[in-house]
């Protein structure tokens, strides 16, 4: 295998990994948030450099509100308006009018 083919495989692997992360963030925000919380816990609990603690705090700030990081309760306090439940979402209303009779001559 030559170097250009290895570089091509590396670029494709990076693109596929970024696409997987994007899909995970978009369609599974709860799983994404729990993963970020686990990584942030590990970084903040490690007796290591202050840089890792700061990185953990930055990751914790990026956890979606639906997971519960931004609220005292599990994201359902509704004080900030970030979380909406199914009952709060109102369907669009369609105004129906009386049909007009068709005149035939």
Residue 50 C-alpha from the chain's centroid: 27
Q: Which residue has the higher pLDDT, 14 or 78?
A: 14
| Tens digits of residue pLDDT in 32-87 | 888 888 888 888 887 777 888 888 888 888 887 766 544 444 444 555 554 545 45
> Is the pTM higher than 0.75?
no
Q: List CB contacts of 33: < 8 A, sequence separation 6 or more.
A: 63, 64, 66, 67, 68, 69
Instruction: Give the domain extent around 32.
Output: 1-105
- Total count of domains within the chain: 1
pLDDT at res. 12: 97
Say how many C-beta atoms besides its own lie within 10 A of residue 24's C-beta.
Answer: 13
């Amino acid at each position: 295998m030559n170097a250009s083919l290895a570089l091509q495989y590396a670029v494709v692997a990076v693109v596929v990994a970024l696409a997987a992360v994007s899909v995970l963030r978009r369609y599974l925000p709860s799983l994404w948030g729990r993963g970020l919380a686990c990584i942030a816990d590990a970084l903040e609990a490690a007796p290591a450099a202050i840089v890792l603690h700061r990185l953990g705090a930055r990751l914790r700030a990026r956890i979606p509100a639906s997971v519960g990081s931004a609220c005292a309760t599990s994201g359902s306090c509704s004080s900030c308006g970030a979380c909406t439940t199914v009952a709060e979402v109102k369907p669009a209303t369609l105004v129906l009018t009386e049909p007009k009779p068709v005149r035939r001559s």
